Structure 1
Amino acid sequence: AAAYRPPTLLRHSRTARARSYRGSAPELPAARVRGTFLDFFRKEHGHLLVPSSPVRPRGDPSLLFVNAGMNQFKPILLGTADPRSEMASYRRVTNSQKCVRAGGKHNDLEDVGRDLTHHTFFEMLGNWSFGDYFKEEACRMAWSLLTEHYGIPADRLYVSYFAGDAASGLPADEETRQIWLDIGVPPRRLLPFGLKENFWEMGDSGPCGPCTEIHYDHIGGRDAATLVNTDSPDVVEIWNLVFMQYNREVDQSLLLLPQFSVDTGMGLERLVNILQGKRSNYDTDLFTPLLHAIHQISRVRPYSGRTGAADVGKVDMAYRVVADHIRTLSVCIADGIHPGMSGAELVLRRILRRAVRFCVEVLQTPQGALASLVPTVSHILGDVYPELHREADRVTDIINENEAHFLSSLQQGSRLILRTLNSVDYKHGVFPASVAWSLHRDLGFPLDLVDLMLEERGVQVDRQELDRLITESHKVKLYSDVLNVETLTPVMLDVLSLAELQRLGVPHTDDGLKYQYRLEQGRYVFPACHATVLALYDGQTLVSEVSGGQCCGVILDQTCFYSEQGGQSHDQGYFTRDGLQDVVYSVEEVVLAGGYVIHQVTAADSLKTGDQVQLHLDQVHRLSCMVKHTATHILNFALRKVLGSSVQQRGSHVAADRLRFDFSVKGSLSVSQLQQVERCVNDIISANQIVHSQVLPLQRARSIRGLRTVDEVYPDPVRLVSVGVPVSELLDNQTDTQTSVELCCGTHLLQTGAIEDLVIVSERQQVKGISRIIAVTGQEATRVSIINAQTDVVSQQQRSLLSMLVFSHHAFLRLRFELRLCWRRTAGGKCWWTAWTRTLCR
């Protein structure tokens, strides 16, 4: 909303506004609608304007895309926000959030284009209260904005509220009903509904509560109460106000939250539709420039807004699909999500290919037409989301590359279908499912397109066999996920337990010892740590004691263990209890939630609050992580130095045995470029440069020239890590030396020489525009270097093979450790693999 600077908030008379509801020219451009909303809450009601988060969720594996305004605020609602971060101080907040609903639970993809309202990308206007105002103020602000500032006639609005649910033991939300009556909503326009319509839940467990929704009647001058919540296109929901006052427990019971919150959401596209007097979102100024641009590059008639049978040849559907999908593609790619083969990337690939097919098959556009629409998207949305301007060229390149690859795959797939048809006598008219599935799995050839091509020739796929292959593929993926030994689920405290810790006055964990190591005669010395058990969590609630064999989370007054964050693996080790030195409590996971470090252990013996414990850090593992983390920073710097400043970090992971680094780049690196990067890294290693770190106020740290950051919520103050140049010189701009300088909470070497050597063993494009480097250091790097020296050129395939060889021993040890752990937990349980496990774990 930075580009919007209205002199005053809008307060139209009902007479002036009535003209737009009769379908005249738009009075309010979309930019002013968005700006009026944000200014209303920011200027008149003291809300903090928080920028939209990227559509890639921050640390939330339950989502493919950000699909609601509340996603970025989940840490507050769950009580896990870092108490040192700005987010922890939020009380009243407003924003316009970029959202994508395609894939997963919220999936509008196949509906897009068929009607006039569904979208894969949309903007969610919202306001939030975290322990501040609640139902009355939220309702009064919403009504004031709609009826006074936007001038929507009150007699067009209907309000729903929660009617209660006897089976769940939930009473009707009479408080909200009375608030609306006091505001002036007539009883006949105030409608009760049940759990499905008016009770919002974050998931199977977690914060939840009743909601009240405001609905708009497009027709007016009638009683439309019976059309509310019936999916009528004439009466639509425009604003949902959620009152989070309960927590859904794992056993499905409901408990009151210690802090009530308000979460509201209103789709910008639908609101603009109403305020501009339209019946279709595609007739508003959020879409009309795109539809005009599509017509300019197509060979079909202009857009006319038809649907269903009236839309002959699905021309208008094609217009809507392409207009919607190019917005989604532009936003996602600008935020670092590229078309690919799994997760959100796979969904984006389907969106791109769906758009390309409608361009080519219906709109008859030339190749490259889809990407030519990117500047129009930037023109419409770029002022409020500036990354669309900044990344426009890269977005265009990636769309063009993926389109060319898809069209090539279509040609290849078509040839294979024809060759298969010509090589077999299809008197029974059945096409082999294995060929159809191979086309889809290996080339991304759409199965519905296979059906269409075969239908033209009077042939059809063996549907029963194809369904079996699809089911089998899903089973293989599930089995692969189960066998992934790195996806252990940590014991995480729920919002009520975190609030109980605060109520009891349990202090946040002091984990400063994780940084207090030193170099003595070339060896790292790590501090001893003696701690007190302050709290125990059994997976459902806080307890005072756990018994032997019980899995639990342990909170101590202090710790020297590093909790998993910032892409670095958690520390390993164990602790012993005073008076019971022979019994080892192995630390399996270390996580951070709401300022508390939670050590996940399976208790070898009883453990209770107040017990004194001695922590024993796996120093070899920690030092290996420190080596890899510092090497990752240097690699990031080297890539930018060799390839240019356009390189952006897109992800990383630091483990004891290797480092992984994902970054934006147009194509795979050449052997020469990889060698330059390695030389740059190893020059810094050989120089044994000092690694400086200092804790600074976040705002001051951000002022440093050349600072590298990623999309994270940083604490304030924040830790800054610089290689070779003291932080004081960077702050005072006393040096022109280019160096690695990043905000980072990880543990690092004190001097770079301990890395010894770095070798890139694998580099390949994960998706178009995103490359992944895997590198090793120290002795592993030396072994790879010896092999490299025996060949003139190491190809990408050879590097991948070397990577497998280097990691095979680590993978075996990891698997052996996991099996041994499982065997111990089941106490040699009677199952078919017990004997094999015993043999392997000896």
Structure 2
Amino acid sequence: FKPVFLGTAHPRSELAQHRRVVNSQKCVRAGGKHNDLEDVGRDTYHHTFFEMLGNWSFGDYFKEEACSMAWELLTEVYEIPRDRLYVTYFGGDSSLGLSADEECRDVWLRLGVPASHVLPFPLKDNFWEMGDTGPCGPCTEIHYDHVGGGRNAAALVNQGSPDVVEIWNLVFMQYSREVEGNLLPLPQHHVDTGMGLERLVTVLQNKRSNYDTDLFTPILDAIHKGCGGPRYQGLVGDADVGRVNMAYRVVADHVRTLCVCITDGIYPGLSGAELVLRRILRRAVRFCSEVLHAPSGLLASLVPTVVEVLGDAYPELTKNADQIMDIINENEAAFLSSLERGRRIIERTVQQMEPSTNFPAEVAWSIYGNLGFPLDLIDLMLEEKGISLDSAGFNKLALEDAKRKAGGLQAGQLKDINTCLDVHSLAQLRSNNVPATDDSPKYAYTLGQHGQYEFSPCQATILMLYRDQSLQKEVGAGQCCGVILDRTNFYAEQGGQASDQGYMIRSGQQDILFPVESVRLCGGYVVHEVTALETLRAGDQVQLFVDEAQRLACMTNHTATHLLNFALRHVLGDNTEQRGSHVTAEQLRFDFDTKGPVTVEQLQQVEQVVQDMIKRNEVVYMAEVPLTLARRIQGLRAVDEEYPDPVRIVSVGVPVESMLTCDSEAAMQTSVELCCGT
């Protein structure tokens, strides 16, 4: 409804015709301005997923009617005792030139709410903003005292007490926050209210905790059945020894979120909402494994119970239950292999730390980036050991990473180091008969039974190290260097595709990660840019782990460039030629030449062709073919660059072998390209 608030909705649109609306919507708060993730599990009333009940007024009723209707519903329809309800209003802010919302206060007093139950609060509590800019305004909240008994609980309102909890927020949209930070009055006044279903159910079922209602108890029972151990007791804080009850709440909450998001087409991934969901899943897996000591697969086994609880309201959950379980199991298996390694790294680092020092940011960043640990998960693991993270250092590393991504740079390009072998080093390697790197394992991935790609680690030997433009047999701890291996499963940057990232570990030393930040191909040698956390030596045996999420994102975007290339030729004609592309985990760029300008209609046709091919979900075929034979394929697309012999061919929907006969026109009907990427 934001266009209505800002007056940007077209006056003839259906949206602009609404004056009063009521709705229920699925909400996830786990990132951005309204982020409840770190609170979930610690208390009994925050959730990542919840159902929001709302009523809206667009230039129609305002404060008097909104407050009156809310009070009537709660006290007369739901028959909630009036003496258990407290209301708050905006107490003003002199820095913004805003006075207290006395109009709202007076409405509540006229409705019969005692003055002792009508409380002013400052900007942070009673002024609601959608984001850094946009519609905003003062709000009034209705809080419920779970204890009651005639006591005065005014001092507990907005104090984080589990006994006095906000159940309804009525926002009066009066202003628009501009980019400069100033507030401008909206031409019309609007109302946006939100009441969490879970908190309302807690009140109506006369419970003290959301997790004691029938929205959660079946899930908590299923968790107990799946892992054994003590039952859920509703304990919080210091009373919750071992954080078992917190784990119950985290898992119950997070599995609901996973079910709803996956059903709506959001899957655990590398960026945006997908990355947030990935963190939620991994947080749940960690609590299952390390706190509840549950067997693998517990999280997915809870899906049928979630469907039973929510399926009537959201029938789409029932249809997608099997898919949800498969996706959860796949992601859990991937994370469990990293979880134990991360735990050992943290324990080893803590043992080596000086007393009263913070956990080093570099180690935390390595765990965060290379093992996919959410930051709040790292904080929790450190908190359990009574230590804190060097947050300032971590934030600095995060800022550097954001700048790198914004500039389209590889990780190593922010550092003053050149890991590309110069001509003298290449000559020295060859004169010493150091063999070129076998990088064929980069294609040694398989498709699992549920359709997910599986990447195996690669065993390798360090042949030589490269630093300060010279080959070296040994590099000390803390230094960044190039590592040349006899074989690798890492993809080196070439052909417009960004290199893999990941890490290596030394054989027999599982608790130290050597982050691989970028990979380059220099004269047949694959050079891995590595930060040596301990001394590295030629002859060391190592195991290589590719960042699977980053590789998959690059694979997806690379396939998208192939589809786009075919679609452009299909729509614009055979005179369309690719001139380059750039593929990273976050984005893709495709450069091409064609005769004449491209119209909007043609772009829409290109988009439709690509979408149709994606919807058909066709198999992507790959095969190595002698270069001379490959060039005979009709319609084969190849960029003007040097290709190896034999060359790799990638085809969508049609097996490569069927295209190799002289009279085959199969390649004219789909995307077929020479490709050295992944």
TM-score of the two chains, using structure 1 as the length reference: 0.49
Displacement after TM superposition at 1:195 (Å): 2.5
Please state whether the residue corresponding to 1:398 is helix, strand or coil.
helix
Alignment CA distance shift 1:143-1:621 (3 Å): farther
- Whether the 8 Å contact between 2:622 and 2:648 is mirrored in structure 1 is no
User: Distance between the aligned counterparts of 1:381 and 1:639, measured in 2?
Assistant: 31
Please state whether the residue corresponding to 2:649 is helix, strand or coil.
coil
2:248 maps to which of 319, 329, 333: 319
1:671: which partner in 2?
621
User: Distance between the aligned counterparts of 1:294 and 1:782, measured in 2?
Assistant: 53
2:530: which partner in 1?
none
The answer to whether 1:241 aligns with 2:155 is: no
1:119: which partner in 2?
47
* Letter of the structure 2 residue corresponding to residue 201 of structure 1: E
The answer to whether 1:91 aligns with 2:41 is: no
2:134: which partner in 1?
206
1:172: which partner in 2?
100
User: Distance between the aligned counterparts of 1:800 and 1:469, measured in 2?
Assistant: 44
Displacement after TM superposition at 1:432 (Å): 8.8
1:794: which partner in 2?
649
User: Distance between the aligned counterparts of 2:221 and 2:211, measured in 1?
Assistant: 11
User: Distance between the aligned counterparts of 1:390 and 1:105, measured in 2?
Assistant: 33
Please state whether the residue corresponding to 1:118 is helix, strand or coil.
coil
Report matched runs for 1:343-362 at 5 Å.
343-362=272-291
User: Distance between the aligned counterparts of 1:439 and 1:296, measured in 2?
Assistant: 32
- Whether the 8 Å contact between 2:259 and 2:317 is mirrored in structure 1 is yes
User: Distance between the aligned counterparts of 1:628 and 1:804, measured in 2?
Assistant: 28
Alignment CA distance shift 1:146-1:321 (3 Å): same
- Whether the 8 Å contact between 2:117 and 2:154 is mirrored in structure 1 is yes
Displacement after TM superposition at 1:416 (Å): 7.9
* Letter of the structure 2 residue corresponding to residue 199 of structure 1: F
> What's the CA shift string for 1:686-705, capped at 9, x where partnerless?
xxxxxxxxxxxxxxxxxxxx
* Letter of the structure 1 residue corresponding to residue 86 of structure 2: Y
Alignment CA distance shift 1:190-1:619 (3 Å): farther
1:192: which partner in 2?
120
2:598: which partner in 1?
622
The answer to whether 1:633 aligns with 2:608 is: yes
1:328: which partner in 2?
257
1:150 maps to which of 65, 78, 83: 78
Displacement after TM superposition at 1:670 (Å): 3.4
Alignment CA distance shift 1:397-1:222 (3 Å): same
User: Distance between the aligned counterparts of 2:160 and 2:115, measured in 1?
Assistant: 22
Between the two structures, name the one with larger relative contact order (CA 8 Å, sep ≥ 6).
Answer: 1
Alignment CA distance shift 1:380-1:438 (3 Å): same
> What's the CA shift string for 1:118-151, capped at 9, x where partnerless?
2111111110011121122111111111011111
Displacement after TM superposition at 1:156 (Å): 1.7
> What's the CA shift string for 1:166-217, capped at 9, x where partnerless?
4433333333233223322233322233333222233344322222222222
2:323: which partner in 1?
394
User: Distance between the aligned counterparts of 1:81 and 1:249, measured in 2?
Assistant: 19
- Whether the 8 Å contact between 1:129 and 1:262 is mirrored in structure 2 is yes
- Whether the 8 Å contact between 1:102 and 1:109 is mirrored in structure 2 is yes
Alignment CA distance shift 1:433-1:128 (3 Å): closer
* Letter of the structure 2 residue corresponding to residue 480 of structure 1: K
Alignment CA distance shift 1:628-1:139 (3 Å): same
Displacement after TM superposition at 1:336 (Å): 1.8
User: Distance between the aligned counterparts of 1:638 and 1:136, measured in 2?
Assistant: 55
Pairwise CA RMSD: 4.2
Alignment CA distance shift 1:90-1:452 (3 Å): closer
1:263: which partner in 2?
192
The answer to whether 1:480 aligns with 2:405 is: yes
- Whether the 8 Å contact between 2:649 and 2:672 is mirrored in structure 1 is no
* Letter of the structure 2 residue corresponding to residue 634 of structure 1: V
> Which of 145-154 and 375-384 deviates more?
375-384
- Whether the 8 Å contact between 1:382 and 1:389 is mirrored in structure 2 is yes
Report matched runs for 1:293-692 at 5 Å.
293-411=222-340, 437-445=365-373, 468=393, 471-481=396-406, 620-623=596-599, 626-641=601-616, 643=618, 669-671=619-621
Displacement after TM superposition at 1:672 (Å): 7.0
The answer to whether 1:161 aligns with 2:98 is: no
User: Distance between the aligned counterparts of 1:414 and 1:293, measured in 2?
Assistant: 27
Displacement after TM superposition at 1:248 (Å): 3.3
Identity %: 61
- Whether the 8 Å contact between 1:162 and 1:195 is mirrored in structure 2 is yes
Displacement after TM superposition at 1:373 (Å): 0.8
Please state whether the residue corresponding to 1:219 is helix, strand or coil.
coil
Please state whether the residue corresponding to 1:236 is helix, strand or coil.
strand
User: Distance between the aligned counterparts of 2:214 and 2:383, measured in 1?
Assistant: 40
Please state whether the residue corresponding to 2:598 is helix, strand or coil.
helix
1:103 maps to which of 27, 31, 36: 31
TM-score of the two chains, using structure 2 as the length reference: 0.60
Alignment CA distance shift 1:800-1:448 (3 Å): farther
Alignment CA distance shift 1:144-1:401 (3 Å): same
* Letter of the structure 1 residue corresponding to residue 649 of structure 2: V
Displacement after TM superposition at 1:620 (Å): 4.1
User: Distance between the aligned counterparts of 1:459 and 1:167, measured in 2?
Assistant: 39
User: Distance between the aligned counterparts of 2:81 and 2:383, measured in 1?
Assistant: 53
Displacement after TM superposition at 1:333 (Å): 1.4
Please state whether the residue corresponding to 1:122 is helix, strand or coil.
strand
> What's the CA shift string for 1:429-467, capped at 9, x where partnerless?
9999766643432222568988999999x9999x76x96
User: Distance between the aligned counterparts of 2:131 and 2:621, measured in 1?
Assistant: 48
Alignment CA distance shift 1:460-1:230 (3 Å): closer
- Whether the 8 Å contact between 1:206 and 1:248 is mirrored in structure 2 is yes
Alignment CA distance shift 1:146-1:635 (3 Å): same
Alignment CA distance shift 1:804-1:477 (3 Å): farther
Displacement after TM superposition at 1:228 (Å): 2.6
Please state whether the residue corresponding to 1:370 is helix, strand or coil.
helix
Alignment CA distance shift 1:181-1:111 (3 Å): closer
> What's the CA shift string for 1:308-337, capped at 9, x where partnerless?
232222221111110011011111111222
Alignment CA distance shift 1:165-1:452 (3 Å): closer
* Letter of the structure 1 residue corresponding to residue 202 of structure 2: N
* Letter of the structure 1 residue corresponding to residue 280 of structure 2: I
Displacement after TM superposition at 1:95 (Å): 1.2
Please state whether the residue corresponding to 1:622 is helix, strand or coil.
coil
User: Distance between the aligned counterparts of 1:344 and 1:276, measured in 2?
Assistant: 33
> What's the CA shift string for 1:720-775, capped at 9, x where partnerless?
xxxxxxxxxxxxxxxxxxxxxxxxxxxxxxxxxxxxxxx9xxxxxxxxxxxxxxxx
> What's the CA shift string for 1:624-666, capped at 9, x where partnerless?
x5444313323433444465xxxxxxxxxxxxxxxxxxxxxxx
* Letter of the structure 1 residue corresponding to residue 39 of structure 2: D
